[in-house]
Structures are given as structure tokens and as C-alpha cells.
Amino acid sequence: MSWDRACCARRLGKRKVIAETGAGQHGFATATMAARFGFDCKIYMGAVDVARQRPNVFWMENLGAEVIAVQDGQKTLKDAINECMRDWVTNMEDTHYILGTACGPHPFPEMVSWFQSIIGLEAREQMLTQTGRLPDRVYACVGGGSNAMGIFQGFFDDDVELIGVEAGGLGVGTYMHGARLAYDDASVGVAQGYKTYFLQNDDGNMNETHSVAAGLDYIGINPIFSHLWEQGKVRFEAATDEEVKETLKLTMRTEGLIPALESTHAFVTALKEAPTMAKDEIILINQSGRGDKDIFTIADALDDAKWKSFVEGKSDQYRAERG
């Protein structure tokens, strides 16, 4: 998608690009594109996310992007979006805002959805080539909704069940999650330039959110999804932090897959529902990213002693080098 956005920025005659990022994946992609196309690049990322997704920060910076740790609010994705909007209204003359998720003011939700639709088009074609038919169910994790919109668009006109999986965080009733549609805690509001279901209080101020996955730790959801959910066209479920950690162990050991913590949410629900399906039914899961970036979080979750002693060793080495 970042190549499409590069073409946009060029066409608009902009020299600089800015982007928000939660998990760092979109920031990484934008920084890569900027290096290749010669744009100045600034990435806004909540300070909490900078701390938990250091590998992506490392690559963004080494690709030449300036990574700004946003200290406002909850210091996560939503605050990074606010900061991008502030930058853009100030510097719109020479700056293009490459909003990563399918949220924000018009035309971003539609524009990002359209750019991401390549995922669904390709997945549909591959499925037909490899199995001769369409999948019965498609699962995707939902932060703002870009990867899910991307893959679901390949199947909107088909008799295929579409399931979006949100961040269940600490679970139902804890108010520490990112489940706008799967749980009952969100209501319709207008913020960050768009109208959708938000996790907010009665005054219209946003509630704290939580997820082990930085990319799903967000207050709102693509407005097209809110509409499709109200119409019963897309089903929404949530996966908790605990379920994600357990499922990740399973996919690593049994499938040789290391999905990102975000993507693992889709695996949780798919694996939970698979036993209720017929043997010959086909499940398609969108692995929106790889888990390499999550090595610190996963190592913590697994309480991996060897990793910890490696990191301790490294930190001893750096301390000794500094004298």
C-alpha cells in the first residue's frame, strides 16, 4: 500500500510524508517507501508503543525517518493520529499525511480501504486457483480496520462469512480492551474527523483502551465496518491477551507460523470456531504481519529464560563499553 501512497504524494507535489503508527508496521512501510522515493519522513508513535515495539523503531530510524514519541493522552495510536493531524494542518503545503489505518476524516476510510483491497482480490484468486472454490469463512484482526477491509473486500459479493476480531485485552467487563463492536462498551460518536462506534464515556470523552497488540489498542473502528456490522454483514468477535499468547505458542509449534500479535487475534477466533465447522469447509485467515517485531513482548509472555539472559548479557556489554 505504501507504494500507492508514494504515487499519491508525488502526484500532489509533496516533499514530505508523515504517518502515525501503532505497532510500527505502517511506520516501517512508510519509512521504506520514503527512503526509496526520496521523501522526508516523520513518523508519530505513542511513547508507550515506542517502548513496546523497539525493533520497528530501530528500522524506521535507520531507514532515515524521524520517529517522534508522542507524550499526549494515553501515548498510543489515537494520540499519534492527533499529532499527525496537528502536523498536517500546519504543514499541508509540502506534506502528505499517509494515514495508515482505515479511519480518520473523509476520504481516508475509503481511500485506505481501496488501497488495501488488493489483499482480498489476490486472496480470492489464489483460493480459487488452489482449491477451486471460495472459503466458507474469512477471519481478520481489526484495529482501525485496514487489513480486514482489505481482505473482506474480495468477498463482499460472495456467500462467505466474514469475521473481524478485535482486541479483547483483559476481557469482558474490565474496560481494558479495544473491542468496539464485539463487546457492549462502545457508542456512536464523532472524533478524529469521523463518526463511528467509539469506546467513550457519557460525556463523549474517550475511555482508556488496552491490548497486548499495539496495533489493535485503539478507540474507534472504520465507519464502513460499523455500518456493515449494523446490517449484520460482518460478525465481530474479540480475543483476549491471554488467548493470543496461547494461540501464538500453538501456531509456532504446529504450523511453523509466527503471526504478529495483532494477526494472532484472527487465529484465536478461527481456531476456536473451527471444531464447530464441517471437515470440508475452508477457513481463510489474514496474517496481516509477522511477529518478529514482537520478540520482546512474546519473550516476556513466554518468560523465556534464555532470551532474558541474552538481553542481560547485551546490557552488561553496553554498560562496560560506556565505561
Partner 1 sequence: MIWWNYSFPFSEPSADGPLFAHANEQSLKSGTTVDQCFEFMREVSARFPFKVLMMGYYNTAFKMGEERFVQRLKDAGGVGYILPDLPVEESANLHQLSEKAGIEPIILMTPTSSDKRLAQLGALSRGMVYVVARKGVTGSKTKMGDDVLALIERCRQHTNMPIGVGFGISGKEDMDFLRGSADLAIVGTAALKTWQESGAPGLKKFFAALMA
Ligand X SMILES: Cc1ncc(COP(=O)(O)O)c(C=O)c1O
Applying CB under 6 A, among 32, 74, 76, 101 the residue interacting with ligand X is: 101
Say if residues 109 and 101 touch (Cβ distance below 8 Å): no
Instruction: Look at residue 200 and give its three-state secondary structure.
Output: strand
**Shortest Cβ distance from residue 304 to ligand X (Å)?**
21
- The residue with its CB nearest to ligand X is 215
Count of residues that bind partner 1 according to CB under 8 A: 24
82 touches partner 1 (CB under 8 A): yes
Of 138-146, 189-197, 240-248, 257-265: span binding partner 1 (CB under 8 A):
189-197
Q: Per rule CB under 8 A, is residue 191 in the interface with partner 1?
A: yes
Q: Return the residue of 193, 250, 257, 295 that touches partner 1, per CB under 8 A.
A: 193
Residue in 61, 66, 72, 158 binding partner 1, rule: CB under 8 A:
72
Identified binder of partner 1 from the candidate list 206, 212, 213, 284, rule CB under 8 A: 206
205 contact, one of ligand X, partner 1, none, CB 5-8 Å limit per kind = partner 1
Would you count residue 168 as binding ligand X (CB under 6 A)? no
Beta carbon of residue 140, minimum distance to ligand X (angstroms, whole number) = 8
Considering the complex, state which of residue 30 and residue 200 has its C-beta at the smaller distance from ligand X.
30
CB neighbourhood size of 75 (10 A): 18
Residue 257 to residue 276: CA distance in whole angstroms: 23
**Residues 6 or more apart in contact with residue 151 via CB below 8 angstroms:** 119, 120, 123, 138, 140, 284, 286
Long-range contacts from 268-276, C-beta under 8 angstroms, 24+ separation: 268/165, 268/239, 268/243, 268/244, 269/139, 269/163, 269/165, 269/237, 269/239, 270/137, 270/139, 270/163, 271/247, 272/243, 273/137, 273/163
Which residues neighbour 178 within 8 Å (Cβ) at sequence distance 6 or greater? 143, 166, 167, 169, 199, 209, 210, 211, 216, 217, 218, 219
* 60 scored as a contact of ligand X (CB under 6 A): no
Q: Which C-beta is closer to partner 1: that of 143 or that of 259?
A: 143
Q: Which residues here bind partner 1, judged by CB under 8 A?
A: 72-73, 78, 81-82, 85-86, 89-93, 187, 189-193, 200, 202-206
